[in-house]
Amino acid sequence: MSYVDPRALVADDVQIGEDARVWAFSQLREGVVVGTGSSIGSHSYVGPGVRIGKNCKLQSGVLVFEGADLEDGAFLGPGVIITNDRLPRAIKPDGTRKSDDDWRIDRTLVRRGASLGAGALLVAGVTVGEFALVAAGAVVTSDVPPHALVAGVPARVMGWVCCCGARLQVEDHVGECSECTRTHQISSP
């Protein structure tokens, strides 16, 4: 059974999977899909057509704008922002208001198992690779490779992480976990 707080604003056609939860004062726009077992924290905004996979966890106050796609197991810390317009303008050069058709949405993808720390911001159009970890407060301006740990403004690779979250020791493109027995293929650098 899913749970939607009665104080959430959920558009009529939103699909909410089994065991999913939507907490108070969140808004889910038209066409949103929330996968089985996923949770959307209070005071969040999920834009039109955003797809949220299975077992994702969105903490409170996340802003996920139209054009984003979150694969299974994505984690968004409190206050994460996923934007959708690289060159935003409210008006056209002649000063008239832009309409909904006057702009292009850049798609943004958070791959399976990736985590975005508190207050991280994704500039429109980037892909965050599988099981990557974006540090708190990072501004991600380019694609993040799978298993990368990125931090800062703009975000830069500062290490590599296992699917369990611990650091990987990388040699010859093989990452060995410091906490569990897993190894991962690291494509770059």
Ligand X SMILES: CC(C)(COP(=O)(O)OP(=O)(O)OC[C@H]1O[C@@H](n2cnc3c(N)ncnc32)[C@H](O)[C@@H]1OP(=O)(O)O)[C@@H](O)C(=O)NCCC(=O)NCCS
**x-or-dash string of contact with ligand X, 77-116, rule CB under 6 A:** x---------------------------------------
Find the residue with minimal CB distance to ligand X: 117
- Three-class secondary structure assignment of 3-28: EECCCCEECCCCEECCCCEECCCCEE
For residues 111-141, one letter each, b for 16 or more C-beta atoms within 10 angstroms of the residue's C-beta and e for the rest, the string is bbbbbbbebbbbbbbbbbbbbbbbbebbbbb
Binding ligand X (rule: CB under 6 A), the pick from 63, 151, 157, 163 is 151
Binding Zn ion (rule: CB under 5 A), the pick from 154, 164, 169, 187 is 164
Structure tokens at 27: 């808004």
Supply the minimum distance, in Å, between the C-beta of residue 175 and Zn ion: 9
Among 50-58, 64-72, 103-111, 132-140, which window interacts with ligand X (CB under 6 A)? 132-140
- 28 in contact with ligand X (CB under 6 A): no
Region of 142 on the Ramachandran plot (φ > 0 left; ψ -120 to 50 alpha; else beta): beta
Q: Which residues bind ligand X (CB under 6 A)?
A: 77, 117-118, 133, 135-137, 151-152
